[in-house]
Amino acid sequence: MLSERMQEALNKQVNAELYSSYLYLSMAAYFSAKNLPGFASWMTCQVQEEIVHAMKIHQHVLGRGGGATLLPIEGPPLDWESPRAVFEATYAHEQKVTGLINGLVDLAQEEKDHATVNFLQWFVAEQVEEEESASGALEKVKLAGDGAGLFMLDQELAQRIFTIPPVPSE
């Protein structure tokens, strides 16, 4: 059984993951409006990943006898200065999410909730991957500049395909 504190923290993380999906959906719409379908596709993969993350945490809460608290999801920004600004925001956001996940691990350890500590290890590893992906894309956007390089990068980013990750074991 989850403690009240752990349940509340995990439900807040579900909300944070759903906000992330809204943020990336907004970024996908931005790129679509800028006629950068590959960038939009890359962000759409991010949307799907974040929804899966939210659902995994939600299922963990329910599976441990907790209750779901569905909080309002804050609206994300709708516009950015440039593709580079979008990826700077993406990287900064993933760093923030890493901090949230690490905070959950700290709380689970403090609560001596070993099942949740174990469950969250998948998210710790996932955030390493998320930060690496965002920073790699940001570096490519910086190198591409605003001209033909951006067009070529758009084609490369279009190749990303979302695959549902395996369910973390508890």
Instruction: Please give the model's pTM, rounded to 2 decimal places.
Output: 0.92
pLDDT tens-digit readout, 23-74: 999 999 999 999 999 999 999 999 999 999 999 999 999 999 999 999 999 9
Cβ neighbors of 124 (< 8 A, separation 6 or more) are 101, 102, 105
Region 4-157: CATH code? 1.20.1260.10
Q: Which amino acid is at 104?
A: L
The mean pLDDT value for 83-111 works out to 98
Whether residue 138 is predicted with pLDDT greater than 70 in this model: the reply is yes
- Could you give the angle at which helices 4-33 and 83-110 cross, rounded to 10 degrees? 170
List the domain boundaries for the chain.
4-157
Question: pLDDT above 70 covers what percent of the chain?
Answer: 97
The mean pLDDT value for 80-97 works out to 97
Q: How far apart are alpha carbons 96 and 93 in whole angstroms?
A: 5
